[in-house]
Amino acid sequence: MDISRPVSAALFIYECFRLSLLVAFLLISQSIESVFPAGSLAGGAFFPYIAYISSTALFPLMTLFMWLRPQEHRSYIALYMTGKIIGIVLFYTWAIFPFGEFTGMENARNNMTLLWVSIGINMADVLSVWGAWTLKKENRKAENGGL
């Protein structure tokens, strides 16, 4: 049974959900004044968010291509897994360091919310790496004639 199409579709749906959750979380957690200083983008404060979100937007694109044309884009599987593994390792490296000064209860609550949402996303990323590994094994089986 060929499970590559449903797994690719599930990865695509997950990546779209992950990207929308990330954008929503960034917009909710940041005040408008810190993102758009004085009502303009002249201060450059918006650039780090765009840079992070645009690189994260590559994951839904890769999974879309792996889903729609799996034979042509099977090399994206290794790239996808590598990007996810790097992200997971960087997250846990980031998580072991303190979150900065807790200046008040609201800041501490926001930091803990950020930590728990990030842990949930990274657990799902581990599952997405497992799904991509399954795709890679299925492609390898197909190349070897079903062995």
**Rounded to whole angstroms, how far apart are CA atoms 49 and 29?**
12
Nearest partner of 114 among 26, 46, 18, judged by Cα:
26
Mean pLDDT of 19-40: 66
> What's the confidence (pLDDT) of residue 42?
47
Mean pLDDT of 137-141: 84
Is the alpha carbon torsion for 111, 117, 123, 126 positive or negative?
negative
More confident residue, 21 or 13: 13
**Rounded to whole angstroms, how far apart are CA atoms 27 and 52?**
13
More confident residue, 116 or 15: 15
Q: At what angle do helices 105-143 and 76-95 cross, to 10 degrees?
A: 150
At 72-102, the pLDDT tens digits run 888 889 999 999 999 888 888 877 775 555 4
Select, from the ranges 25-34, 45-54, 85-94, 104-113, the one with the highest average predicted confidence (pLDDT): 85-94
DSSP 9-20: HHHHHHHHHHHH
CB-CB neighbours of 142 under 10 Å: 15
> What's the confidence (pLDDT) of residue 73?
87
Is the alpha carbon torsion for 58, 118, 83, 146 positive or negative?
negative
Domains in the chain, number: 1
The rounded percent of the chain whose pLDDT value lies above 70 is 72
Rg of the chain over CA atoms, in angstroms? 18
Domain that holds residue 43: 4-143
**Rounded to whole angstroms, how far apart are CA atoms 26 and 51?**
13
